Amino acid sequence: MKAVGITSHGGSEVLELIDCPQPEIESNEVLVRIKACALNHLDIWIRRGLPGLKLKMPHILGADIAGTVEAVGSLVRNTKPGDEVLLSPSLSCMHCEYCLSGRDNLCAQYDMLGLRSPGGYAEMVKCPSVNVLPKPANLTFEEAASVPLVFLTAWHMLVGRVDLRPGEIVLVHAAGSGVGIAAIQIGKLLGARVIATASTKEKLDKAAQLGADDLINYSEHDFLDEIKRLTNKRGVDVVFEHTGEATWEKSVRSLVRGGRLVTCGATSGHNGNLDIRYLFSKQIALFGSYMGGKPELLEVLKHFESGRLKPVVDRVLPLEAAAEAQKALENRAQFGKVVLTP
Ligand SMILES: [Zn+2]
């Protein structure tokens, strides 16, 4: 089958069109013919190489996959050939205390499609049958592939970790990113007031269309000054962080007394200063968050079926254009998800 793989770590030039054998399924696994695979920043981190990450080369990237079932193993009962599906990206042991309590994202053996296991930059992928979920009928394959990783991540952050409440104010950084788009919509769904930041007026206009109540152009204004102005010096209840070093200190200072900061990433750098006096005297809470549990994804998908949450696809490119697609993400040229189709 055709795939885009890497045989070494590096820049986008290491992405190569390769011909590789079709995956062979075990009795509890499903073979899926891929119709769409959405990109994530995770793909770029893996391509560049992560500490301690040893991959079997050539490695196929891509966590967010939608397609049709091609074949099922002899023990599989929950799906059959021809079904239109999307895949939960999370792979885990399914028998430890975390997995059995729906917190598989804390499993010691946690993995994802495209992380250590082969992913979706290909014509076919295999996964355990537990990862196969029905595609919401009102979504195209491209839209369905745009959902799992970013909406699960943002849901776990705002619902699972900080329990965002109606009437609270949440600051969402980088509104044009995949998790930003998800966080704006989830914030509104939960009844919060959403303040969104982005670098251009065009992106802010789109954030407003998704429901953001207040907008900050961080290339023109200091976002901390704007938070003070917009909240009458009060500060926000929750900061949705994923940019890291560039925003960290001011994100902490944007919080109201007793506020919560939740972070799932550090795309701009991974060192953040923290004045410990500020942390204890303002009684601030800092939350780390990584993906989300399988039950949370099922909950998220219900809101897509009802139309309360909407995928945002920026562009669809052929699989062969994987390098161009990743560059768009690295240059922050997109508003929403970049999707590959084989
Ligand atoms: Zn486990």
pLDDT at residue 267 greater than cutoff 90:
no
Measured in Å, residue 317 CA sits from the centre of ligand 1 at 35
213-222 tens-digit pLDDT: 999 999 999 9
Measured in Å, residue 100 CA sits from the centre of ligand 1 at 7
Cα torsion angle, 318, 323, 326, 331, sign: negative
Q: Where are the domains of the chain?
A: 2-147+311-341, 151-288
The token duo for 169 is 């104010």
The highest-level CATH class for domain 2-147+311-341 is: alpha beta
Say which amino acid occupies 71: A
List residues, by chain if needed, whose CB lies under 5 Å from ion ligand 1: 92-93, 96, 99, 107
Position 74 scores a pLDDT of: 98
Position 334 scores a pLDDT of: 86
CA triple 314-317-321, angle to 5 deg = 130
| Average pLDDT of the chain, as a whole number | 97
pLDDT at residue 146 greater than cutoff 90:
yes
Closest listed residue to residue 99, CA positions, set 85, 89, 109: 109
Phi, psi for residue 33 in degrees, rounded to 5: -85, 115
125/67 Cα distance (integer angstroms):
10
Measured in Å, residue 137 CA sits from the centre of ligand 1 at 31
Say which amino acid occupies 149: L
What average pLDDT does this structure show over 5-25? Answer: 96
The token duo for 131 is 């990862």
Q: In this structure, which CATH number among 3.40.50.720, 3.40.50.2300, 3.30.360.10, 3.90.320.10 belongs to the domain 151-288?
A: 3.40.50.720
What average pLDDT does this structure show over 175-192? Answer: 96
Closest listed residue to residue 114, CA positions, set 70, 72, 77, 145: 145
Measured in Å, residue 303 CA sits from the centre of ligand 1 at 27
Position 332 scores a pLDDT of: 83
188-198 tens-digit pLDDT: 999 999 999 99
Give the strand pairing for 29-38 and 124-128.
Answer: antiparallel
Its pTM stands at 0.96
The token duo for 342 is 């084989």
